[in-house]
Amino acid sequence: DHTHADTLRTPIVAVLGHVDHGKTSLLDTIRGSAVSEGEAGAITQHIGATDIPLDTISGMAGELIDPSDFDLPGLLFIDTPGHHSFSTLRARGGALADIAVLVVDVNDGFQPQTEEAIDILRRTGTPFVVAANKVDTTPGWNPQDGEPIQKSMDAQSERAKSMLDENLYEIIGQLSDAGFSADLYWRVQDFQKNIGVVPLSALTGEGVPDLLTVLMGLSQRFMKEEMAIDVQGPGEGTVLEVKDERGFGATVDTVVYDGVIRNGDQIVVGGQNEPIVTEVRALLRPRPLAEIRTEKEFEKVGEIGAAAGVKIAAPDLDQAMAGAPVRVVRDRTVDEVVEEVKAE
Ligand code: GTP
Ligand code: MG
């Protein structure tokens, strides 16, 4: 019911995987945009965040989802770079995640940063599903744009199907070598014990309805307790990037993962030398479905609750650091919060 939905926060879904395996393309398909085409050298170099509302998810998932089964507001997707030199950003994305999507190119299988991502997920104990991406590159593939994967499989020749199966079982074997029992997602009974593998294509969108359905189901079933937060509590977040914004000076793009941040709040932000104590001058929210990294038309809001991406404008943020904590002071003393930020 609706009143309940207001007290559950949006789950944070990190998208991890080897370079070029299709993380940003997958998010492009879900948000209906083209962020990956605009990237320098075609690789992602920062962490991104995009809020996908439940009605968009149920619209894409079509017959697979009944939105009345869910009382979570949607999913906040975190895009991470796959290039080997950005391991800090992958670890940061993994640390923010409630659940994760491990994107694996179905032809390439496990690669070094796939292994690295798995290590992060194992370390943080984050539940995940595997998106076996690029099924459309299977020789002889007959694309079924935006369709559920079962329907798409039914439209393939025996030869294409068996080539894809071979690649999928290779990935399931690699997951097993990494210590995870896994199977094609429709065969998984207990997603806490087994990793579900979802064959899909970010290019054609086939299988994407299945991925969204599995993510919503996982969040709803296993994480509802963790999502029930004190929505009025002091906001807590992590800085993704420090950026100059015209008219505001240095701002911090932040993922808020707990509580609420309000305009005018006193906040403490981790800095290069010491924590910065400042006051929120503006909260700038990207539009739904917009990637905070590339958004141009932010909306000024009075407050923003977890989980969400928000650009925070406040004085003295030029020494703020990517990866640093952001804490609202509210009913504690500034010193307490400064000590907490120093300890992180
Ligand atoms: P990094 O962020 O640099 O790690 O890469 P990424 O994982 O975000 O990969 P990206 O989405 O940038 O895609 C890399 C390339 O693969 C691009 O040329 C995409 O068009 C292509 N690609 C991604 N998904 C698919 C797919 O499902 N099918 C096909 N045929 N190509 C795809
Ligand atoms: Mg990318």
Q: At what angle do helices 87-96 and 112-124 cross, to 10 degrees?
A: 40
Model pLDDT for residues 321-336, shown as the tens digit of each residue: 999 999 999 999 999 9
Q: Is 22 annotated as a binding residue?
A: yes
73 is in an annotated binding site: no
pLDDT in tens, 129-188: 999 999 999 999 999 999 999 999 999 999 999 999 999 999 999 999 999 999 999 999
Residues 6+ apart with CB under 8 A from 179: 122
Q: Is 136 annotated as a binding residue?
A: yes
User: Looking at per-residue confidence, does 148 or 34 come out higher?
Assistant: 148
Question: Closest ligand 1 atom to the C-alpha of 137?
Answer: 30
Helix (H) / strand (E) element for 149: namely: helix 149-154
Closest residue by Cα to residue 306 from 236, 250, 247: 236
CA gap 99, 110 in Å, rounded: 20
Minimal-distance CA residue to ligand 1 atom 24: 22
Helix (H) or strand (E) holding 105: strand 99-105
The region of weakest confidence among 61-70, 167-176, 267-276 is 61-70
Q: Could you list which residues have their CB under 5 Å from ion ligand 2?
A: 23-24, 44
Q: Spell out which residues line ligand 1, taking CB within 6 angstroms.
A: 17, 19-25, 36, 42-44, 81-83, 133-134, 136-137, 201-203
Residue 116 CA to ligand 1 centre (angstroms): 19
Look at residues 134, 147, 125 and name the one whose alpha carbon lies nearest to residue 18. 134
2 φ/ψ angles, rounded to the nearest 5 degrees: -70, -40
Spatial distance between the Cα atoms of 256 and 206, rounded to a whole number of angstroms: 32
Average pLDDT, the chain: 94
Could you give the CA distance from residue 297 to residue 289 in angstroms, rounded to a whole number? Answer: 12
Using CB atoms within 10 Å of the CB of residue 87, give its burial: 0 to 12 exposed, 13 to 18 middle, 19+ buried. Answer: middle
Ligand 2 center from residue 273 Cα (angstroms): 31
The Cα 255–Cα 262 span in angstroms is 14
Q: What mean pLDDT is predicted for residues 70-90?
A: 94
- The pTM (predicted TM-score) of the whole model is 0.96
Pairwise CA distance, residues 59 & 67, whole Å? 9
Ligand closest to the CA atom of residue 43: 1
In sequence order, the β-bridge partners of residue 237 are: 256, 326
Chain centroid to Cα 81, Å, comes to 12
pLDDT at 5 over 50: no
Complete edge-to-edge strand list for the sheet that includes strand 282-285: 276-279, 266-269, 325-328, 236-245, 249-258, 308-313, 282-285, 299-301
pLDDT given for residue 152 in this prediction = 98
81 among the known binding-site residues? Answer: yes
Which ligand 1 atom is at minimum distance from the Cα of 44? 2
Ligand nearest the Cα of residue 20 is 1
